[in-house]
Amino acid sequence: MKFRKEFMSQMVPEWQEAYLDYSHLKTVLKEVSRARQPEASDGTTRNLKRRVSLYRAFSGLAGPRRSQQMQEDAIHTNIIHTGSEECYQSMLFASSSEQSDEHQVEFFRRLDDEFNKVVGFYKKEVAELMGEAEELSKQIDILIALRIKVEKPDIALEDFNESVSLTGSSTSSASTSTAKSTFPRTAKRSSLEVTQEVEMETREAKSNSRKASGGIAHPTIQKLKLELLSQVRINVQPETPISTLKCMVMSSKSQLSYNKTELRKAEELMKRAFIEFYQKLRVLKGYSFLNKLAVSKIMKKYDKITSRKASKAYLEMVEKSPLGSILEVTGLIERVEAVFIKHFADGNRRRGMDILKRKIKRERQGITFFSGFFFGCSLALVVAIILVIHLRNIFKSQGRGQYMDNIFPLYSLFGFIVLHMLIYSANLYFWRRYHVNYTLMFGFKQGTELGYWEVFFLSSGLAVITMACILSNLDMEADPRTRTFAAITESVPLALLIALLFLIFCPFDILFRPSRFFLVRSAFHLVCAPLYKVSLQDFFLADQLTSQVQAFRSLQFYVCYYGWGDFIRRSNKCFESRIFEAFYFVVAIIPYWIRTLQCLRRLVEEKDVEHVFNGLKYFSTIVAIAMRTGHDLNMGMIWRILAAISSGIATISGTYWDIVQDWGLLQRNSKNPWLRDKLLISNKNVYYVAIGLNILLRLAWMQSVLGFREAPFIHRQALIAIVAVLEIIRRGIWNFFRMENEHLNNVGKFRAFNSVPLPFEFDDNNNKMRTRL
């Protein structure tokens, strides 16, 4: 693999603009190479010989030692200090070709700019990490005090003077004898006992090493007292609707109550914060290594093209820069590992490192094989169903209308789910291809996220089971021996639905349990909206549900058909019930109502007026659905006019919001006409086609208002299913460009990590809260 591709593949997607522009530097080097080549003319050979003879004559006059020195001293490097800033510059010595010199000067000017950009970004990130390290030091000190208060309330904290610092060494001034007498060794020890024991051993070892080295002055150590905890407020996010209501009534940052539940939540948040901080350190260390490697590679190419030895001097300057000496980051990594192992892994280094290090997901070949196998089987079953329908002339039979009104809506539910999963797998493929960091934005736990092959495997497997059930249902009806088993035949869709729900909520570790529970948890947040803080994965899932209105109505039909209908005789009177008609409307607006509540919650938290307009957009859709549902149920001209007007308003507002706000397109001053400045797809026509498709597919509702609910060549239920399919396809297109825009926003802000809320809050100006840092 060429280094450029390897370099691009190992970049942090959100930091792409902060890396060395290796591709452009390589382009400049090509210009240098072309300038050094002799011109293609009749006098080329004579000019070349003349230059060589002049160079040899000059070299002979100067002597071999002077010639060698000039080749080695091809450039001169310099570090310019302007206040607290440092600027790295290189100066090129002249060669025998003025044209070549111009391109070489341009090369080093560009290289210096890129290197200064990289160093500046690296220093900024290190400064931010040092600030986070200080904050984590304070937090871990408070956590230790809380542990002592909860687990050993009889211990006087005045005698336990432990303070942990990530920016320095961890120390403890408690005596070893006191620690051993207070915490005797037992078969089962608490986390506090292990923490103190490891701290004592670490203190003794570091104290001995300091004495052996001549003694280094200790930093100031401040005592952790009981009064410290009284001024600390807990900042744990509520996990249930009840706790959310309590926080809304009382305060989201209440005083500590010194119970084990509170300690467990604080420890969990601190563990997540340490893991995220550790990942930042490792990524920044990799950023330094990758850019140094890029500089080394490009300088070696320069030496090879120009036959000059400039890489040695330039790489020496790189090593003297902050990018070359990463002692701060390496030291932080070591101290984070030590503190995490002591306080969160009971001193077990192997277990602590397994938690800290990011798990790399391995591609399983079995998933790929069975995905293709199930997809092939589903295509074969589709062909088999078509043949059965054609050979038995089912479309022209008397029970055609009865089958479409009763059985088709039941199986169409699974068709909607399978199609949405297939489109989502395609989204995952293209997000990965264009380096969209969807795992960061969705908040997936590293190593547990589903790839496009896994989603394709699940969708194709569900498609095979659904097609097999449809085919068995048709076969059982046609076979005289099984025609009398009406109850079993008609219960096949219900059994399939129950099996699907069981697999989703199955507590056993099968079929990607972390991802299933992630989906269930996000769905529960939607049900309880607006009692939960709205995250991207929550409103993204709610947006997906807005495109599955017909699937919700199919679920409603399941309840009516098997609960109050005569499913054995394949008949129902659902649409004759007023209750069913009412729920037919309510079920359709549930996803849009959830999004409206989410916008309201975000408005309260973020105080951004944009959420008001977004909420009004969803509310206008609710009104349009109400009007269209009334039109479908009552068939009146007034309802048709109201449905047309409300649907038109909802379509215009929704289309504008999709293209301008969600996708970030239609920018007037963009360098890409009517798009945006940054595009992941090089072919701009893709964006114009997507805009056109989004507008066209949003007009699918017109088939209902214009009276195309039933035609001689297609049944009404089939037409409803086609419209639902078009909406799912539109949602799949929306998904890609919505996440692309979100990713580009993260790139613009260099936001490569999710922020983890810390468990404790305090007044940093209070002297009592100042710990040793």
SS3 sequence, 89-131? EEEECCCCCHHHHHHHHHHHHHHHHHHHHHHHHHHHHHHHHHH
Q: What is the CA radius of gyration of the chain?
A: 34
Of residues 368 and 172, more confidence is placed in 368
What mean pLDDT is predicted for residues 696-725?
Answer: 76
Beta bridge partners of 78: 89
Query: Taking Cα atoms as reference points, which of 75, 42, 139 lies closest to residue 312?
Result: 75
d(CA 712, CA 707): 13
Q: pLDDT class for 211, splitting at 50, 70, 90?
A: very low
Query: Taking Cα atoms as reference points, which of 183, 123, 184 lies closest to residue 152?
Result: 183
DSSP-assigned letters across all residues of 301-361 = HHHHHHT---HHHHHHHHHHSTTT--HHHHHHHHHHHHHHHHHHSTT-HHHHHHHHSPPPP
Residue 764, SS3 per DSSP: coil
d(CA 368, CA 616): 44
Q: pLDDT class for 73, splitting at 50, 70, 90?
A: low
The pLDDT tens digits for 451-460 are: 999 999 999 9
The pLDDT tens digits for 174-192 are: 333 333 333 333 333 444 4
What mean pLDDT is predicted for residues 703-713?
Answer: 58
pLDDT of residue 752: 83
Lowest mean pLDDT among 113-122, 135-144, 203-212, 637-646: 203-212
What mean pLDDT is predicted for residues 636-665?
Answer: 89
Lowest mean pLDDT among 85-99, 169-183, 291-305, 537-551: 169-183
Per cent of the chain over pLDDT 90 is 38
Give 567-575's long-range contacts (Cβ < 8 A, gap of 24+): 567/406, 567/490, 567/491, 568/486, 568/487, 568/490, 569/486, 570/399, 570/402, 570/403, 570/406, 570/407, 570/490, 571/402, 571/406, 572/405, 572/406, 575/633
d(CA 272, CA 289): 26
What mean pLDDT is predicted for residues 387-395?
Answer: 81
What mean pLDDT is predicted for residues 119-135?
Answer: 92
Please report how the helices 260-306 and 22-36 are oriented relative to each other, as an axis angle in degrees rounded to 10: 0
pLDDT of residue 51: 44
Measured from the Cβ of residue 655, the count of other Cβ atoms closer than 10 Å reads: 16
Question: Residue 525: what residue type?
Answer: H
Q: Residue 85 is inside which H or E element, if any?
A: strand 85-92
**Integer CA distances (angstroms), 564 to 569, 576, 765, in order:** 12, 12, 67
Q: Residue 408 is inside which H or E element, if any?
A: helix 408-433
Lowest mean pLDDT among 30-34, 94-98, 367-371: 94-98
Of residues 40 and 268, more confidence is placed in 268
Of residues 184 and 10, more confidence is placed in 10
DSSP state of 163: E
Question: Residue 741: what residue type?
Answer: N
Q: pLDDT class for 163, splitting at 50, 70, 90?
A: low
Structure tokens at 190: 């608490």
The pLDDT tens digits for 740-751 are: 999 999 888 888
Q: Residue 24 is inside which H or E element, if any?
A: helix 22-36
pLDDT of 553 strictly over 50: yes
Question: Residue 409: what residue type?
Answer: P
DSSP-assigned letters across all residues of 366-389 = HHHHHHHHHHHHHHHHHHHHHHHH
d(CA 399, CA 395): 9
Lowest mean pLDDT among 530-544, 597-611, 712-726: 712-726
Structure tokens at 537: 């994965």
d(CA 423, CA 426): 5
Structure tokens at 670: 């963009």
Q: pLDDT class for 103, splitting at 50, 70, 90?
A: confident
pLDDT of 255 strictly over 70: no
Q: Are 760 and 236 in contact (CB under 8 A)?
A: no
Query: Taking Cα atoms as reference points, which of 504, 593, 549 lies closest to residue 726?
Result: 549
SS3 sequence, 257-281? CCCHHHHHHHHHHHHHHHHHHHHHH
d(CA 371, CA 378): 11
d(CA 33, CA 387): 66
d(CA 667, CA 450): 34
d(CA 694, CA 651): 10
Of residues 280 and 191, more confidence is placed in 280
pLDDT of residue 196: 46
pLDDT of residue 573: 83
pLDDT of 154 strictly over 70: no
pLDDT of residue 175: 36
pLDDT of residue 274: 92
Which residues, in sequence order, are CB contacts of 362 under 8 Å at separation 6+?
Answer: none
d(CA 369, CA 454): 11
Instruction: Measure the CA dihedral 544/546/547/548, to 10°.
Output: 90
Question: Residue 537: what residue type?
Answer: Q
pLDDT of residue 81: 73
Structure tokens at 172: 């403890």
Q: Are 44 and 320 in contact (CB under 8 A)?
A: no
pLDDT of 247 strictly over 70: no
Q: pLDDT class for 693, splitting at 50, 70, 90?
A: very high
What mean pLDDT is predicted for residues 602-616?
Answer: 92
d(CA 207, CA 210): 5
What mean pLDDT is predicted for residues 502-518?
Answer: 92
d(CA 753, CA 129): 12
Query: Taking Cα atoms as reference points, which of 679, 694, 689, 699 lies closest to residue 731?
Result: 694
Measured from the Cβ of residue 392, the count of other Cβ atoms closer than 10 Å reads: 14
Of residues 16 and 417, more confidence is placed in 417
Q: pLDDT class for 600, splitting at 50, 70, 90?
A: very high
What rounded mean pLDDT belongs to the chain? 79
pLDDT of residue 719: 87
d(CA 111, CA 167): 33
Please report how the helices 408-433 and 452-478 are oriented relative to each other, as an axis angle in degrees rounded to 10: 160
Structure tokens at 159: 């005698």
Measured from the Cβ of residue 181, the count of other Cβ atoms closer than 10 Å reads: 9
The pLDDT tens digits for 312-353 are: 888 889 998 888 888 889 999 999 999 999 989 888 898 889
Structure tokens at 370: 């069975």
Which residues, in sequence order, are CB contacts of 377 under 8 Å at separation 6+?
Answer: 464
Query: Taking Cα atoms as reference points, which of 340, 545, 522 lies closest to residue 443?
Result: 522
pLDDT of 542 strictly over 70: yes
pLDDT of residue 126: 92
Measured from the Cβ of residue 728, the count of other Cβ atoms closer than 10 Å reads: 21
d(CA 643, CA 214): 86
* Top-ranked range on mean pLDDT: pick from 212-216, 412-416, 573-577: 412-416
Beta bridge partners of 163: 171
pLDDT of residue 70: 42
DSSP state of 574: G
Q: pLDDT class for 729, splitting at 50, 70, 90?
A: very high
